[in-house]
């Protein structure tokens, strides 16, 4: 005789099994119908057939950007995949990217719903995942005007210079002790403080250590889990099962970030009287705060909007730039001739009596070329953040249905031998002279779009370029770099996520090459 509990469990299992059988049968026949591209049916772009129900999801593996790049070699630069119950199109060439992100951009201005936007980004209340509309425009406008635009960046240049002084001092201490510098930890600490001072008028971390390392780990975890291909995003009827455990991890991580952001805002509010003459970015945001969470989105922001925007700035602002600099240093360490050329250029322009200044960068074309080459080979966002079509459209004679997700494989474009000569070689010289010299990473040259393009281009594009050039240039000019004893060859494997991390963190021994006064904060 079974217990009531056992009966309930049995009934639950039977119901779940029935739902799954119905779902599998329904999606199987639907996929067959949609895959019929003959007769009078509209022709979809070519792509792998995939499996019933799950479609091409099992093909993605741990490195989707690599998988999609390989598939594009077979199916072409505009490729269609059935991903669960969703349509997806992938652009893998400059011309295809241009069509989607420029010609058809109004149709691809929104983001598709996904677990990351829901559970990490305050249910799409941020600037990255919000729909294109009044709220998004206000967040973007305020960010450009007071933090990310050209004038705003110039206004807090002294903050970057001062924080760079702290970083160089810490690195100098490491060199005296013979300790290796862990690049990712050092960069995250410095950049979080740079951004913190622009937003909050204070350093986020007062000393490098456990707290800043925990923050770095949280940022890396966020960028990693937000990049996962979550089954629930592509088969919504299975989302409640959270088969991969991704959503549980997101909810837990969100609580940590929310506690951190809440504390920052409360501490900031307590000192607001000190900044009446010179308000910072968070003061500006709070001035636009509507105390109801049901703001109309016109000129008002909710507290949730503000937290979500701070999350964008602290995570993307620290992680994407620091990972780009880490990749650049790793490539330079593998080819010392590049380090030598860069230092010779800087010594000629700057000398060895002082540190590099941001105003020096325009006179350092080889440094700029190193940065461009890093964006090409190691784009911080390998798959441009997904977009979704608002209406059906035509691309290269193919039908793109409404509500089709779009991915632009920036990583594949940067390694395409039809676009770049010897694409796997790290060669900054390719951007000096010739047709590539005027290529710029700001979204107008579709051969190099590390920040995306169009109206949804990364809001921090200007800041990212400034940080990478200034910080990388300072590190190369201020120190000689070598691998720690016992390390013969660097591991250059990637770890996939929204941002493309080095799988093995870079650590190196540095030796000062400037006058002693240059290392005093």
51 against 298, higher pLDDT: 51
pLDDT confidence of residue 298: 61
**Cα dist from 110 to 41, 160, 391, 457, whole Å:** 27, 33, 11, 12
CA distance 231 to 54: 8
The answer on pLDDT for 207 being more than 80 is: no
φ/ψ of 338, rounded to 5, equals -70, -45
Where does the pLDDT of residue 325 fall: very low under 50, low under 70, confident under 90, or very high at 90 and above? Answer: very high
Mark out the alpha helices in 144-228 (DSSP H runs): 150-155, 157-177, 183-200, 210-225
Which of 214, 208, 216, 204 is CA-nearest to residue 166?
Answer: 208
| Degrees, nearest 5: CA angle 327-67-426 | 30
3-state secondary structure of 432: coil
Residues 6+ apart with CB under 8 A from 511: 175, 479, 480, 482
Looking at residue 270, what DSSP letter applies? H
The answer on pLDDT for 205 being more than 90 is: no
The answer on pLDDT for 514 being more than 60 is: yes
Q: pLDDT tens for residues 410-437? A: 999 999 999 999 999 999 999 998 889 9
Domain with residues 37-519, CATH architecture: Orthogonal Bundle (1.10)
Mean of pLDDT values over 340-359: 97
Which of 174, 478, 475 is CA-nearest to residue 354?
Answer: 478
Q: pLDDT tens for residues 482-498? A: 999 888 889 999 999 88
The answer on pLDDT for 27 being more than 80 is: no
Q: pLDDT tens for residues 435-469? A: 899 999 999 999 999 999 999 999 999 999 999 99
The answer on pLDDT for 6 being more than 60 is: no
CA distance 474 to 476: 6
CA distance 455 to 326: 28
CA distance 294 to 451: 32
Which of 5, 309, 10 is CA-nearest to residue 130?
Answer: 309
Neighbours of 3 (CB within 10 A): 8
Mean of pLDDT values over 110-121: 95
Question: Percent of the chain beyond pLDDT 70?
Answer: 90
Residues 408 and 443: beta-carbon distance below 8 Å: no
pLDDT confidence of residue 24: 54
The answer on pLDDT for 37 being more than 70 is: no
Looking at residue 144, what DSSP letter applies? I
pLDDT confidence of residue 277: 84
Mean of pLDDT values over 192-206: 89
Q: pLDDT tens for residues 135-144? A: 999 999 999 9
Q: pLDDT tens for residues 251-285? A: 999 999 999 999 999 999 998 888 888 899 999 99
pLDDT confidence of residue 272: 87
Mean pLDDT score of the chain: 90
3-state secondary structure of 457: coil
CA distance 470 to 467: 5
**Cα dist from 305 to 121, 122, 485, whole Å:** 9, 8, 48
Where does the pLDDT of residue 184 fall: very low under 50, low under 70, confident under 90, or very high at 90 and above? Answer: very high
The answer on pLDDT for 516 being more than 60 is: yes
pLDDT confidence of residue 483: 93
- For residue 411, with 0-12 CB atoms within 10 Å meaning exposed, 13-18 middle and 19 or more buried, which class applies? buried
Cα dihedral across residues 328, 373, 145, 131: positive or negative: negative
CA distance 240 to 401: 27
| Degrees, nearest 5: CA angle 429-430-435 | 130
CA distance 512 to 521: 15
Looking at residue 78, what DSSP letter applies? E
What is the pTM (predicted TM-score) of this model? 0.90
35 against 492, higher pLDDT: 492
pLDDT confidence of residue 296: 56
CA distance 83 to 234: 6
- Residue 317 tokens read as 């602002």
pLDDT confidence of residue 297: 55
φ/ψ of 400, rounded to 5, equals -110, 110
Element (DSSP H or E) covering residue 322: helix 303-334
pLDDT confidence of residue 21: 53
CA distance 107 to 40: 25
Q: pLDDT tens for residues 384-394? A: 999 999 999 99
């Amino acid at each position: 005789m079974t217990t009531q509990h056992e009966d309930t469990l049995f009934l639950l299992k039977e119901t779940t099994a029935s739902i799954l059988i119905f779902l599998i049968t329904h999606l199987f026949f639907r996929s067959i119908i949609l895959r019929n591209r003959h007769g009078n049916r509209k022709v979809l772009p070519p792509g792998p057939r995939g499996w019933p129900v799950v479609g091409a999801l099992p093909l993605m593996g741990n490195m989707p950007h690599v998988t999609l790049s390989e598939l594009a070699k077979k199916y072409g630069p505009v490729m269609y995949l059935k991903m669960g119950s969703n349509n997806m199109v992938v652009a893998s060439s400059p011309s295809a990217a241009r069509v989607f992100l420029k010609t058809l951009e109004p149709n691809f201005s929104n983001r598709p719903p996904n677990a990351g936007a829901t559970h990490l980004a305050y249910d799409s209340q941020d600037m990255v995942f919000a729909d294109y509309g009044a709220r998004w425009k206000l967040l973007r406008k305020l960010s450009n005007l007071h933090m990310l635009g050209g004038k705003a960046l110039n206004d807090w240049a002294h903050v970057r210079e001062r924080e760079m002084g702290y970083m160089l001092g810490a690195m100098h201490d490491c060199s005296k002790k013979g300790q290796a510098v862990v690049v990712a930890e050092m960069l995250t600490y410095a950049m979080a403080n740079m951004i913190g001072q622009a937003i909050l008028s204070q350093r986020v971390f007062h000393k490098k250590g456990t707290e800043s390392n925990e923050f770095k780990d949280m940022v890396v975890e966020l960028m990693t889990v937000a990049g996962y291909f979550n089954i629930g995003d592509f088969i919504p009827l299975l989302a409640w099962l959270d088969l991969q455990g991704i959503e549980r991890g997101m909810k837990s991580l969100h609580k940590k970030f929310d506690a951190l952001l809440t504390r920052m805002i409360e501490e900031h509010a307590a000192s607001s009287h000190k900044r009446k003459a010179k308000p910072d970015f968070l003061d500006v945001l709070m001035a636009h705060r509507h105390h109801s969470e049901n703001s109309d989105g016109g000129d008002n922001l909710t507290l949730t909007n503000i937290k979500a925007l701070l999350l964008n700035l602290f995570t993307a602002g620290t992680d994407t730039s620091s990972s780009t600099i880490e990749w650049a240093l790793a490539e330079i360490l593998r080819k010392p001739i590049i380090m030598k050329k860069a230092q010779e250029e800087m010594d000629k322009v700057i000398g060895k009596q002082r540190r590099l200044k941001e105003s020096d960068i325009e006179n350092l074309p080889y440094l700029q070329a190193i940065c461009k080459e890093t964006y090409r080979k190691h784009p911080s966002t390998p798959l441009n953040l997904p977009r979704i079509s608002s209406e059906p459209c035509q691309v290269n004679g193919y039908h793109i249905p409404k509500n089709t997700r779009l991915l632009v494989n920036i990583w594949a474009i940067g390694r395409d031998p039809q676009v770049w000569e010897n694409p796997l070689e790290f060669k900054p010289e390719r951007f000096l002279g010739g047709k590539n010299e005027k290529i710029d990473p700001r979204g107008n040259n579709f051969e190099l779009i590390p920040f995306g393009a169009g109206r949804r281009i990364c809001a921090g594009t200007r800041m990212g370029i400034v940080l990478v050039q200034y910080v990388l240039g300072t590190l190369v000019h201020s120190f000689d770099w070598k691998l720690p004893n016992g390390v013969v060859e660097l591991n250059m494997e990637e770890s996939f996520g929204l941002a493309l991390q080095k799988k093995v963190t870079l650590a190196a021994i540095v030796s000062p090459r400037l006058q002693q006064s240059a290392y005093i904060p």
